[in-house]
Structure 1
Amino acid sequence: MRSRTLAKRRAALAAAAVLPLLLSACSAGSLGSSSGDGSATTIKLLVDNAPDNLQAAKQLAKDFQAENPKIRVSVETRPGGTDGDNLIKTRLQTGSMADVFSYNTGSLFQQIDPTKNLAPITRDPYVKRLDKSFLPQVTVGDQTYGVPFGSALGGGVLYNKKVYAKLGLTVPKTWAQFIANSKKIKAAGIAPVIQTYQDTWTSQLLVLGDFHNVAAAEPDFAEKFTANKAKFATDANAAKGFAYLEQIHDLKLQNPDYASATLVKGLQMLATGRGAQYPMLSTVIGAIKTSNPDQLDDIGFFALPGDDAAANGLTAWFPNAFYVPKSTTGDKLTAVRKFLAFTASPTGCTSQAKASTPTGPYLVEGCTLPSDVPAITKDVAAYFTHDAQSPALEFLSPVKGPSLEQICVQVGSGITGAKSGAALYDKDVRKQAQQLGLPGW
């Protein structure tokens, strides 16, 4: 997981959703043709090698070149995960970065020292088109550095709409309603809450997806957490995610094979109605589209409910962004700014949607989702439309213990109690915060 949470797994999900691509280890090559008179400017675009991201980048390059025949875009790839992080930092430090590159937003963006390494785009006209929810993810002080690459996504609960309709259930706005729905689903002989602990990272959604509820109750939690002034074990709101894991287990509301089930099996259970609800990221759309295309629109999405129905809303994960290193100058910088303007436009959004199914809204003014997007996408987008979303904790704090997924498995399996699990996570967090050299730890 990136930061180190779920974003790390988005690349893996994208890879599982499509056939592997045969890619060069360092470059996908330039796309399109030159202007024929030798006057074309070539810019290099570096993206991670997740298939969905690479396909979207190549489509953007192709469509941009069609409108700008004197600019060529050479798409290069890098690995994901820690190796990719290290490569980005090394190339920025050595002045060898591509002319424009894709990287994380939020706290990981802060870790590449934007004011030192990146060229601000604050005054460029297209920045005014960026969604207000996205801007804080790429802004330091009063300077903005990136435009969104891809669509937003949500962390919450995927549910089988046919099962809900058959049992007369409505989308829950509180945790108590969620539990009541789950008990009715269990009585009907269907697994109420799908858990897939064979893929340990999937265990975290009941904790991480609950952050909107934490932030609604304590708007300054992320700030206090980063400063070591709030703990999961002692903060009543933050501890609830662990309590949810414990409750689902104790009430026997999860599938009997939760310990050995995989993500792929969990999605198939959901699509076929053998399971009704699956705490998950909306980014799995591609995987469902591949494994169960005929059932894709049988699946909806709702935000993880908390205690207050009036505050119900989505924990949001934001897309990566395109950034410009300070080493990009002259004609190349002029060309890159045109490319960013194209990306942050309705035409750029349409281009990306050709290559990759949106997992939520495009965070650019004037961008609309294609009419044929899955129901999951429409459900996620509705929370943005109604401004009922909060960034996931990883976009607000660099502190993320690497062992959360294992701790969540222990709590969700009844091995460790919720309070003990939260305390274990606090210890895990301390190690990482100290490694980052954060004050107060």
Structure 2
Amino acid sequence: MTTRRGLLAATALSSLLPRQGRAQGQAQGQAQNAAPTPAAPAPELLVEKKVFEFANYRTRGGANLAAGRIGYQTAGTLNAAGDNAVLIEHFFTGNSHAFGRYAAGEAPGYWDAIIGPGKPIDTNRFFVVAADCLANLNVRDARTITTGPASVNPATGRPYGMDFPVVSIRDFVEVQKLLLESLGVKKLALVAGGSMGSLQVVEWAAAYPEWVERAMPAIGTGEIDAWMLGWLDIWEAPIRMDPNWRNGEYYAQGRQPPLQGLTEALRIVTLHSRDRAWAREFGRRPVEGQDPARRIGDRFAVEQWLEDAAAARARVSDANSFLYLTRANQLFLNEYDSTEAALSRSRARWLLLPSVHDRVFPVEYGRELAETLRRLNRPVEVVELKGPLGHLEGVVGIAQAADAIRALLAH
């Protein structure tokens, strides 16, 4: 694996900030009967972070959220029929910055390789929307806008903490639908997303089959089974064990947040989202100047890298929000008896993008979802992503599927 690819992996999905992506391609041209001339770089797609506010939302669990807001960004133009919209769903540690740049020279969004003018999801043709979810993890990132446990409860004037209502993947969908309706969207030409985003894709197709023309879940699953329920519990366990967590009551002045527990939780997620091949660049070498064979406190390089990456992520994250997101994932499709029952009314054409070496949602999850869709006589194509990054291939390796995405949207 190249050093550049390793650095890209370090900044995606589960370790550092959610504003990373791959370099944009270049337009190519050649004058007739002349020598080739250098290609001009494609113009940067600049996007703006916007705010959607809503009131008196009733969660799927029956609680009332008096006021809420989420951030979003758009590119392209909605047509008169309101049916050329594309919705992009983000992963567990992500936000709405899926494409474009907030300013010239800044880092592009995580799926910028496939979204923009002339790209597989062509913003010259489609009106593309990406939104932050409720209880977004990145509450200390100024470019994430969300309502969650760290938000002020208008009834008390203090942060909600664990009094924030439980929210599910379906709740994320319902709030997104309110946003889309406010923008004039009547139908979605495509719903696409990776990891937790793929769960939202499936929920959309189940809840609103008349809205969803095409569905593209990447590095995902059609169910959160008992094995995955257990993994999500392991992800969050260090937070609950940190004495600074205080059952979620750590927002008061003078109290320290459970940064150690959150860092450990993110360290688990960071390693879980990668495959063995990713770690080969570290080998068994120790941290420079240390000797694990002589001192129990000395460390191997991979251990130190994981801790540093997780600690950097923890500084822009919120521990309670982490717990709310794991619960939302655990509640995926919880209103249906089975995946087959959930998708029995789906009208979408499907493109599934599992990763062969995924350790979070192993490739059989994607294959099982494909078989379920085939039993329901839904058109489905599967493109298996390959590479050393495991789960992260669905983020930094998404360009592997560029041709399949173009074909999906061609008709």
Give the TM-score, by structure 1 length.
0.27
| Greater per-residue helix proportion | 1
Q: Which has the higher contact order (CA 8 A, sep 6+)?
A: 1
Give the TM-score, by structure 2 length.
0.28
